Amino acid sequence: MITIYLIASVLIGTGLFFNRGKALNYTLICLFLVLQCAFTVYACLHYNETTANYFTFDSLGLIMLLTATIISIPAVFHSYIYIEESEEMTPRSRATYFGAIVLLITAVSAAYLANHIAVVWIFTEITTLSASALIYHHRNKLALEGTWKYVFICAISITFVFIGILFLSLSFVNAHSDDLSYKNLLANSSLLNSSWLRLAFLFIFTGFTAKLGLFPMFTAGVDAKDKAPGPAAALLSSIVMCMGFVGIFRIYVIVANTPLLHWASLVVGIAAFLSLFIAAVYMIKVKNIKRMMAYSSVEHMGLVMLGMAAGGIGYYAAVLHIVLHAFVKSSLFFQYNQLYKVFKNKNIYHLGNYFKYNTTGAMVVLFAFISVTAMPPSGMFVSEFLIFRSMFEANQLLLLIVVLLLLTLIIWAFAKSIFKILFIPAVNFDESTVPVISPWRSTSQFILLGGAAYLGLNPPMIFVDLIKTSIALLPH
């Protein structure tokens, strides 16, 4: 089935790219959504089966695939609105945009399910190419700068992953096997050479931080989300970050079943803490609302990795948190288009009194702020609490205190900007130019925020079981 899915997706993406007709473009993108949903249902019905040798419908892959499919539907809907209202839209830019969306979602979905690290590497590279087309959509100087930076850093990161794969193969010499599938690596983890494995983990981990939005290669993602259209930025801050997490998580499982577990956790923990520190520093200073949301993602990826480094309940919390973050942060970026339509600006100094101009949209921003800062009754309050609990149980008390202080700074900086946008009148703003925005445009955001709250506060047992199965191979 995955072969059919990949071929059909490529054909649809190619058709979108080379056809300029509006009706055909929209027909093809709707056809892709049907294909994506059908493939997701098929994957769920064939749980734990392997197809085409290199793909397995395992628990972690299914969780991420379901997340990607759910977010893809409003992403396409808001892309349609964005394209229709864009003054710079041309048949070529519309076709390129939707073609890149299809390629991105397809590559990410395949990377989730790939059971071989080299296959994950291939699809990760494809996400770089497709994301670059979305970042450059506006075709101006700033978009070119953001695209060039993203391609450059991601090219370095994917090279790091490739070098890490080479080191991983060298660590596997004693096993007398050249199969680098995750299953085979795990089965022979006791035979892996620790010196080569250390190098492999360092390079692979560093490489995937570009997609995850973690230190040291977080800058590519921040600029990309700032320059890309809102719906594309939503995908970059959700499903692409989930792909980076899957890439790191799967290699971490291998290392965790060797004597290098403590060392690997230390590496992950240092990167996580530095990500939180950087997010706190920049969120205090930044005045661009999109960049602020992007740095908020850096903060949350730091928390996810802190949970993974602490172990115990932190493993569960890490998977839960990244899923909830994907729903919440994508809703914020979807709402950004409405915000920009009202103010024609993304500088916080020029935004204000949003409740007056778009009440429904302002409620989305307020609820999303409550969710992203993990305030009760946000679902992310549960996942963050579990992360803190895992750090406490791991006797990381000093680190926990410092993390809480950094989070306090981040919440203060975020709250100051959000409440300014919602309630304080903008300076020299001409209210006569404010467009009327239909409340229905915010429906998808409310659904995503509600879904995040539900999964955090009252998760269905099937969801809990999938997470527990995903982390079952990690030492507890």
What pLDDT, in 10s, does the model give residues 251-287?
Answer: 999 999 999 999 999 999 999 999 999 999 999 989 8
Phi, psi of 212 (to 5 degrees): -75, -25
Q: Is the pLDDT of residue 426 over 90?
A: no
Q: Residues 372-398: pLDDT tens digits?
A: 999 988 999 999 999 999 999 999 999
Residue among 427, 12, 475, 61 at smallest CA distance from 256: 475
Distance of CA 453 to the CA centre of its chain: 18
Contact 301, 236 (CB under 8 A): no
First and final C-alpha spacing in the chain = 35
Is the peptide bond prior to 460 cis by the omega test (within 30 degrees of 0)? no
Distance of CA 378 to the CA centre of its chain: 19
Phi, psi torsion values for 50, nearest 5 degrees? -105, 135
CA distance 353 to 333: 19
The first and second tokens of residue 20, run together, are 């300029």
CA-CA distance, 285 to 336, in Å (whole number)? 20
Residue 214 has φ and ψ, to the nearest 5°, of -120, 155
Residue showing tokens 């972690």? 60
- Which own/partner contact pairs does 221-224 have at CB distance under 8 Å and 24+ positions apart? 221/150, 221/294, 221/297, 221/298, 222/291, 222/294, 222/295, 222/298, 223/145, 223/146, 223/149, 223/150, 224/131, 224/135, 224/146, 224/147, 224/149, 224/150
Residue 176 has pLDDT above 80, yes or no: no
> How many CB atoms within 10 Å of residue 299?
26
104-149 pLDDT per residue, tens: 999 999 999 999 999 999 999 999 999 999 999 888 888 888 899 9
As a whole number of angstroms, the distance between CA 288 and CA 150 comes to 19
Contact 218, 300 (CB under 8 A): no
Which of 172, 165, 170 shows the shortest CA–CA distance to 203? 165
CB-side exposure of 244: number of CA atoms within 13 Å?
33
Instruction: Read off the pLDDT band of 88 (50, 70, 90).
Output: low
Alpha carbon of residue 276 to chain centroid? 16
What's the whole-number mean pLDDT along residues 49-70?
94
pLDDT digits (tens, 9 = 90+) for 201-232: 999 999 999 999 999 899 888 999 999 999 99
What is the per-residue pLDDT for 370? 95
How confident is the model over 329-362, as pLDDT tens digits? Answer: 999 999 999 999 988 888 898 898 999 899 999 9
pTM: 0.95
Residue 167: partners with Cβ closer than 8 Å, 6 or more residues away: 196, 197, 199, 200, 203
